């Protein structure tokens, strides 16, 4: 079932851009700054980091620059990570063959592409005052063991992603406007 029934047209104040329907949001090449908050179960204070995500046609480079530099590159050939400018080391034994990456649609979400999201997720609309919001529940059992839901909000592109993990942790990423 397609989620095209979601999001009704909204009046747009003069000078503001109309929001796209989520299924019209597609991959956007280039760089976007982000702030990432990790809320660990049982710990009151969030761990906050910031950096930039660079989306190329064949890879995603997710670089946390504060408080410590960690650069993660995700591509068809696998996933690598470099800490403080050190050598790029493979992450996980399966790399891109890991079903969490290759079969879950997570790479498309990280690239800002929501087309076909309902192939991998049960999609429901959530409240968002500045555009649209979707809650994505994984269909694949392997992913559902780790992720309860991914909430995505936006207007003309993805503005935030909240990952609710089955262990009680929550990762919340907001992207800078612009």
Which of 14, 7, 4 is closest to 115 using CA atoms? Answer: 4
pLDDT mean for each 10 residues of the chain (178 residues) = 43 62 81 95 94 90 94 85 93 58 70 84 91 93 89 92 94 84
The pLDDT, as a whole number, for residue 59 is: 87
Q: Which fold, 22-175?
A: outer membrane lipoprotein receptor (LolB), chain A (2.50.20)
Q: What is the model's pTM?
A: 0.81
DSSP string spanning 73-112? EEETTEEEEEETT---EE-SSSGGGSHHHHTTSHHHHHTT
**Segments making up each domain of the chain, as ranges:** 22-175
Residue 125 CB neighbours (<10 A):
15
């Amino acid at each position: 079932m397609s989620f095209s029934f979601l999001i009704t047209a909204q009046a747009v104040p003069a000078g503001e851009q109309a929001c796209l329907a989520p299924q019209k949001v597609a991959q956007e090449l280039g760089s976007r700054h982000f702030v990432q908050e990790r809320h660990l179960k049982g710990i009151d204070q969030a761990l906050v980091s910031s950096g930039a995500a660079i989306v190329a046609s064949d890879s995603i480079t997710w670089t946390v620059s504060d408080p410590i530099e960690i650069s993660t590159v995700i591509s068809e050939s696998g996933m690598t990570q470099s800490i403080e400018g050190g050598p790029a080391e493979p992450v996980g034994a399966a790399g891109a063959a890991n079903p969490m990456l290759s079969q879950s649609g997570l790479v498309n979400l990280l690239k800002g592409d929501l087309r076909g999201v309902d192939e991998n997720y049960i999609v429901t609309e959530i409240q968002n005052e500045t555009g649209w919001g979707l809650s994505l529940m994984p269909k694949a059992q392997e992913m559902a063991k780790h992720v309860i839901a991914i909430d995505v909000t936006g207007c003309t592109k993805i503005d935030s992603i909240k990952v609710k993990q089955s262990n009680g942790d929550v990762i919340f990423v907001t992207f800078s406007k612009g």
